[in-house]
Structure 1
Amino acid sequence: MAGDGDLLRLVGTLDAACKEAGFFYVRGHGIPESMIAEVRDVTRRFFDLPLEDKRKIRLTPHTGYRGYQRLGENITKGKIDMQEAIDCYAHIEPGKYGDLGKHLEGPNLWPDYPSNFKVLLENYASLLRDLSRKIMRGIALALGAPSDAFEGGTAGDPFWYLRLIGYPVSADIPEEQRTDTGCGVHTDYGLLTLVNQDDDICALEVRNLSGEWIQAKPIPGTFVCNIGDMLEVWSNGIYQPTLHRVFNNSLRYRVSVAFFYESNFDAGVEPAEFCLEKTGGVAKYEKVVYGEHLVKKVLNNFVL
């Protein structure tokens, strides 16, 4: 690889993006643009259904926090978000992770309409899992590690989380149900997030190093990517997740489909040895069991 100039340039670009922004766009990823658009289309068609139809797959603690949540049920840091969504997770075998895993056990809940929803989204999640693994190989190289550094006990059996989100137009919502943001200020929980957003609505905002909020403008055919909390711990702070939020100030309903690529559910994530060597030899973070981190967040994400 040392003689591959194109690879070295790409790895250098990825390293700079992770250090300076925490956000970047990915193109040339091999996912058909027609599929990317179709995923947004079926999501929009589902959210267009009457509320009683959408609530047939309602998210509750008994569904493993999988399914549909209506407007006003999702919260970020204690504040209600103006969004509706469907949450899907990688399958967890009953009892596999003991008391920790039981919170998210159970099958994903798929609607009967659109009829191709389940097959399309399962295929899409599989493709994005493979794409995310490739990007993480690039991130490993950018940190100076072997390309397979995130395999094995770290993310050899990666957990994933798919969130289909609809952001309504403020004027269409009764005033007493309106909130300031579609999604409040936050960082993501895992290693990497890939966002499939509407091509013509600017709503996702990222805080840069100067503390300014800038728009992550849609670029057709790309995914907007950002790094998460687990990569911050693993890299001992070399890479840090960037705060972001969503405002839908357009006059149209906005759809966004976020794919979260995580470490193994039961992985104990701690600063990697070669990252310690680059940061003075002292761990800045304690070990975090990813599943505990996720479940703690999930249990505080909803008003049900």
Structure 2
Amino acid sequence: MATDFKSLPVIDIAPLLLKCDDPDMTEDAGVVEVVRQLDRACRDAGFFYVIGHGISEYLIKKAREITREFFKLPYEDKLKIKMTPSAGYRGYQRIGENVTKGKPDIHEAIDCYREFKQGKYGDLGKPMEGPNQWPENPQEFKELMDEYIKLCTDLSRKILRGIALALGGSPYEFEGKIAGEPFWVMRLIGYPGAPFTNCQPKNDIGCGAHTDYGLLTLVNQDDDKAALQVRNLCGDWISAIPIPGSFVCNIGDMLKILSNGVYESTLHRVINNSPQYRVCVAFFYETNFDAVVEPLDICKQMYPSGRGEAQVFKSAVYGEHLVSKVQTNFAM
């Protein structure tokens, strides 16, 4: 049974990364301990920090810095990669264009998705077809983000091997037909500094309360501004205080279904109370775009109903879930 939390756990995943390609990884004491911590974090909070992940702090910072450089450009320059439905919902959106539960969010962003050939997913994928729109300025933007995405994809796959073990499956449970060809989403987000009235921050909602859509999210946030908040079981909002060099990780809707509700896709929001502009680079590791996601067999007996019967979550097609969210998330 999940217990409430007042802070987010910090997990050093280095032992898992060292052994994650070893078929005998479950015999390693370090791996066993990481798996235990992942299981506890996913049950209790759905959120955790990871350290010891192997991605250089230089690259983590550079991804934020180059994003910040783009958002400093004149509005006319940013509109050169404006997001539209005809562009596959890829590109730049201005402040207030992203909507959460009917209310505009006070942030601007660039949205990127894994690219795929036209027609690959038929009518299901048609709304998302098209190349990503990368800024020409700063010049090295695309090259740096390509490297960042590659490393985050590999890291996410390895963390999910540990989560698969935590659920009692094989380390490869989420690969193959579930996420052997994982889709990914990346949002580069800029939150304006908080305006002050009567010497108090206005507390604008940078991003309203929501859950994420896929398997696992890696959040790369500014080191000096606490803005991300996670809701615990009591309904209190817990601040995800930045830990330099770490990622804040959280599980999404598809992993909640796969775990049959054993793991929680937790509500979170962003409120930037700092007077300074805040940048966040959020990478979302997803299932295969056309995957039919349903509870794993090993999880179907892990969530009994009040009648003593197994409660089984309904299946979902990831691509349908994503498209439905994307098409209702923007005010255009």
Q: Which residue of 2 aligns with 1:95?
A: 119
Name the residue aligned to 1:302: 330
Q: Deviation at 1:18?
A: 0.3
Tell me the CA shift for residue 100 of structure 1.
Answer: 1.3
Q: Give the alignment partner of residue 205 of structure 2, picking from 175, 178, 181.
A: 181
CA-based RMSD of the aligned residues comes to: 1.3
1:135 lines up with 2:159 in the alignment? yes
Deviations 1:234-284 (A, max 9, x none): 110000111100000101000000000000000000011110133346343
* SS at 1:278 equivalent: coil
CA distance in 1, matches of 2:93, 2:294: 33
Separation (CA, whole Å) in 1 of partners of 2:87 and 2:317: 23
Unaligned runs of 5+ in 1: 173-177
Stretches of structure 2 that go unaligned for 5 or more consecutive residues are 1-24, 197-201
Contact kept? 1:160, 1:261, Cα under 8 Å: yes
TM-score (norm 2): 0.88
The Cα shift of 1:179 comes to 8.1
What is residue 321 of structure 2 aligned with on the other side?
Answer: 293
Equivalent residue in structure 2 for 1:284, among 309, 312, 327: 312
Q: Secondary structure at the match of 2:40?
A: helix
Please state if 1:204 is matched with 2:228: yes
Shift of 1:2: 4.4
Q: 1:65 aligned to 89, 94, 110, which one?
A: 89
| Contact 1:80 1:179 (8 Å CA) reproduced | no
Deviations along 1:107-137, one digit per CA (max 9) or x if unpaired, are 0001111010000011101110000000000
Q: How does 1:224-263 map to 2 (within 5 A)?
A: 224-263=248-287
Inter-partner Cα distance in structure 2 for 1:77 and 1:220: 31
Greater shift in the superposed pair: 218-227 or 3-12: 3-12
Partner residue, 1:175: none
- Which one of the candidate residues 139, 142, 157 is aligned to 1:118? 142
What is the TM-score when the length of structure 1 is the normalising length? 0.96
* Aligned pairs for 1:28-39 within 5 A: 28-39=52-63
User: In structure 2, the residue corresponding to 1:302 is in which secondary structure?
Assistant: coil
Return the offset for 1:93.
1.1
Q: 1:8-66: per-residue Cα shift (whole Å, max 9, x none)?
A: 11100010000001100111111111000000000000000000000000000011000
| Number of aligned residues | 299
| Partner AA of 1:295 in structure 2 | V
Q: Secondary structure at the match of 1:161?
A: strand
Helix, strand or coil at the partner of 1:16:
helix
Separation in structure 1 between the aligned mates of residue 63 and residue 30 of structure 2, nearest angstrom: 32
* Per-residue deviation, residues 61-102 of structure 1 (Å, max 9, x unmatched): 011000000011110111100000000000121001111101
Which of residues 63, 74, 78 in structure 1 aligns to 2:102?
Answer: 78
* CA-to-aligned-CA distance 1:160-215 (integer Å, 9 cap, x gap): 0000000002329xxxxx98300000000000000000000000000112211010
Q: Which runs of 4+ in 1 moved over 4 A?
A: none
In the alignment, residue 223 of structure 2 is paired with which amino acid? D
1:19 and 2:43 equivalent?
Answer: yes
